[in-house]
Structure 1
Amino acid sequence: MDWQFGGIPLHPLFVHLTSVAVPVAALTAIAVAVWPAARRWFAVGAPIVGLVALVSVPLATSSGEWLEHREKETALLERHTELADGMLPWSIAVFALLTLWWAWHRFGTTRVTSGGVVRAVRIVGPVLLVAVAAVSIIEVVIIGHAGAASVWNG
């Protein structure tokens, strides 16, 4: 695929989408994990935000790989591309956990009668959501910084 429009690479566009969508999805995950009112406000919107973030990552990495083959190879660019390869699993985790958390509160809490299961989900769910969200924010910042360094210092 030709990852350009009008002769301009699309990678910066997808990078900006990812740089916004991933932290927004992560902050949404944290909000629904720790604030019950946020679950009602976001409802199915939380997994949709997670899906947008998830879709943005392969767009950014694929367009970046296309651009990488057209640029001079440097250590900074290599570091950026290696780091970027690690973003997809975190985006999948945020999306999956947001979807499961939404589904649990939409369907599971009324169907599961075991108090132990409910307590376990109420403890483990938020911890996982917050941990995965925090790591995804850290990852996107580190990857973005490495990309900026490769452009401005490379």
Structure 2
Amino acid sequence: MDWQFGGIPLHPLFVHLTSVAVPVAALTAIIVAVWPRARRWLAVGAPIIGLVALASVPLATQSGEWLEHREKETALLERHTELADGMLPWSVAVFAFLVLWWAWHRYGTDRIAGRGAVRAINIIGPVLLIVVGVVSMIEVIIIGHAGATSVWTD
């Protein structure tokens, strides 16, 4: 695919989308994990936010790989591309846990007979959401910084 529009590479556009969508999805994951009222307010919106973030990552990486083949290879660019390959699993995790957490509160809590299982899920679920949210935010910051360094360093 030709990842340009009017001769301008689309990678910066997709990078900015990812730089906003991933932290918003991560913050949404953390908020729904710790604030029950927000979980009810966001409802299915939380997984949709996670889906937008997830969709933005392959767009940014594919357009970045296209652009990489047209740029001078440097150690900084190589570091950025290697780091970027690690973003997708974290975005998948944020999306998956947001879907599971929404489904659990929408359908699961009333169907499980054992109070111990409900309690365990209500402890483990938020911890997982917080962990994947924090790590995905850290990842996008590190990747973005590496990309900016590779562009703006002589």
| TM-score category, normalised to shorter length | over 0.9
Counterpart residue number, 1:119 = 119
Is 1:32 equivalent to 2:36 in the alignment?
no
> How many Å apart are 1:105 and its aligned residue?
0.2
CA deviations on 1:70-127 (whole Å, 9 max, x unpaired) are: 0000000000000000000000000000000000000001111111110100100000
Counterpart residue number, 1:48 = 48
Instruction: Tell me the distance in 2 between the aligned counterparts of 1:112 and 1:18.
Output: 37
Instruction: Tell me the distance in 2 between the aligned counterparts of 1:21 and 1:32.
Output: 16
Instruction: Tell me the distance in 2 between the aligned counterparts of 1:133 and 1:39.
Output: 15
Counterpart residue number, 2:129 = 129
Alignment of 1:3-22 (within 5 A): 3-22=3-22
How many residue pairs match? The answer is 154
The TM-score normalised by the length of structure 2 is 0.99
**Superposition RMSD on alpha carbons, in Å?**
0.5
What percent identity do the matched residue pairs reach? 82
The TM-score normalised by the length of structure 1 is 0.99
Counterpart residue number, 2:143 = 143
* SS, match of residue 109 in structure 2: helix
The letter of the residue matching 2:19 is: S
The letter of the residue matching 2:73 is: E
Counterpart residue number, 1:83 = 83
The letter of the residue matching 1:71 is: E
4+ residue stretches of structure 1 with deviation over 2 A? none
CA deviations on 1:9-56 (whole Å, 9 max, x unpaired) are: 000000000000000000000000000001011000000000000000
Counterpart residue number, 2:69 = 69
Task: Name stretches of at least 5 consecutive residues in structure 1 with no aligned partner.
Answer: none
Instruction: Tell me the distance in 1 between the aligned counterparts of 2:77 and 2:64.
Output: 10
Counterpart residue number, 2:94 = 94
Task: Name stretches of at least 5 consecutive residues in structure 2 with no aligned partner.
Answer: none
